[in-house]
Amino acid sequence: MMRDVLACVLGLPLLGLHLALTIAMAPVVRGLVDGCVVGLGGRGVPPVLMRWRWILALARRRGVRVAGTAATGLAAGATLAAALAACCLVPSFAFGLPGAGLSDLLLVTGLLGLARLGLVVTALGPGVARAGRAAVSAAMGLAMMQAVMPVVIAVVGLATGVTGIDGLLARMHDADVAGLQTPLVLAAMALLVAGLDEAWGGADAQAADMLANVTGPDRAALELARDLAVLAWMTLAGDMIWPGGLAMATGAMPPAPAALLAGVGAWLLRTAVLCAGLVAARLVILSLDRGLRTRLGLAMLFGVLAVVVLFAGREFG
């Protein structure tokens, strides 16, 4: 009991650090991706911190709320809270922190879906045609991708015997994972394809349509929630692809400072690699609406491939 309390007390500052780093990094990552996409399109490279500046400027601006949408005014704050909760549950540079027992793969995908749903509700609130149309498309994508998530969770459950994120990372840290690496990488790819809406061309235009009638602090909260969701998806997939870079708490004691620094470096590296993949996807893939069917098929293909590779590894390897 005392040991648990001690671990909790010692781990709380690390959890705070994880949350602060995640919040600080999220708009930077989005800015980096947007900058690379624009730069590779030959339209000049905007500064990486531009998105942060925009969010802060929005937060200082006076908001406008369309008549009759007071009930949906709370949606912006709830969306940001759901995204923050999801980020708390996804380890970035260390695992075994306080609250790690709450994290579950299906739950985290559900919370990130909830953050997406908050955008949809905000867009549908004023009853405007263009925003409503974009929101219906977003809701459609969210509902369609629900079919993929259980398959991904099945791969993780069959491979490691647990579906909790912390337990999964601990198993991959400890056990011989030679045969599990490829299926988990494929499952992470399926997760990214299904969950990360921003990877697809037209996502920014769709979000701009959805949030056209929101400004001020509400808009700032929603934009920050979008960025946090992107970073949470990338961190989750990165953890499944390369869990070795994460620092692990030993007993009640937090990880050593050197291990923590190495963990932060590995997180940045994983995120940078996944950003490069995101930029490539945004430059190559079709538009969002036309791509929804392709995206569903691709995500399902990755999931099924992960199952096949998992069993092929058990049969022959």
Decide if 166 contacts 101 (C-beta within 8 A).
yes
Phi, psi of 253 (to 5 degrees): -90, 140
Nearest approach in angstroms of CB 99 to other proteins is 7
Burial 83-96 (b: 16+ CB within 10 A, else e): bbbbbbbbbbbbbb
Residue selected from 146, 175, 205, 256 as contacting other proteins according to rule CB under 8 A:
146
Q: Is 301 in the site for other proteins (CB under 8 A)?
A: no
Provide the token pair at 245. Answer: 């870079």
Residue selected from 2, 3, 44, 67 as contacting other proteins according to rule CB under 8 A:
67
Q: Is 307 in the site for other proteins (CB under 8 A)?
A: yes
Residue selected from 7, 229, 237, 292 as contacting other proteins according to rule CB under 8 A:
292
The piece of 47-55, 67-75, 170-178, 265-273 that touches other proteins (CB under 8 A) is 67-75
Q: Is 191 in the site for other proteins (CB under 8 A)?
A: no
Nearest approach in angstroms of CB 258 to other proteins is 30
Q: Is 92 in the site for other proteins (CB under 8 A)?
A: no
Residue selected from 28, 65, 273, 275 as contacting other proteins according to rule CB under 8 A:
65
Decide if 122 contacts 76 (C-beta within 8 A).
yes
Looking at the Cβ atoms of 41 and 127, the one nearer to other proteins is 127
Q: Is 107 in the site for other proteins (CB under 8 A)?
A: yes
Residue selected from 25, 84, 184, 285 as contacting other proteins according to rule CB under 8 A:
84
DSSP 254: P
Residue 265 has a CB neighbour count (10 Å cut-off) of: 12
Q: Is 85 in the site for other proteins (CB under 8 A)?
A: yes
Looking at the Cβ atoms of 157 and 201, the one nearer to other proteins is 157
Residue selected from 64, 208, 253, 261 as contacting other proteins according to rule CB under 8 A:
64
Tell me the CB-side half-sphere exposure of residue 107, using CA atoms within 13 A: 15
Q: Is 60 in the site for other proteins (CB under 8 A)?
A: yes
Q: Is 10 in the site for other proteins (CB under 8 A)?
A: no
Q: How far apart are CA 90 and CA 147, in angstroms?
A: 22
Provide the token pair at 214. Answer: 């929101």
Nearest approach in angstroms of CB 252 to other proteins is 20
Considering only CA atoms, give the Rg of the chain. 20
The piece of 32-40, 47-55, 157-165, 175-183 that touches other proteins (CB under 8 A) is 157-165
189: nearest Cα among 291, 83, 286, 277:
277
Nearest approach in angstroms of CB 244 to other proteins is 23
Residue selected from 8, 17, 21, 128 as contacting other proteins according to rule CB under 8 A:
128
Residue selected from 28, 50, 154, 212 as contacting other proteins according to rule CB under 8 A:
154
Q: Is 182 in the site for other proteins (CB under 8 A)?
A: no
- Which residue, chain included where needed, has tokens 């149309």? 133
- Which residue, chain included where needed, has tokens 């800015």? 31
Residue selected from 20, 66, 253, 283 as contacting other proteins according to rule CB under 8 A:
66
224: nearest Cα among 74, 58, 3, 105:
58
Q: How far apart are CA 24 and CA 271, in angstroms?
A: 14
Q: How far apart are CA 71 and CA 81, in angstroms?
A: 17
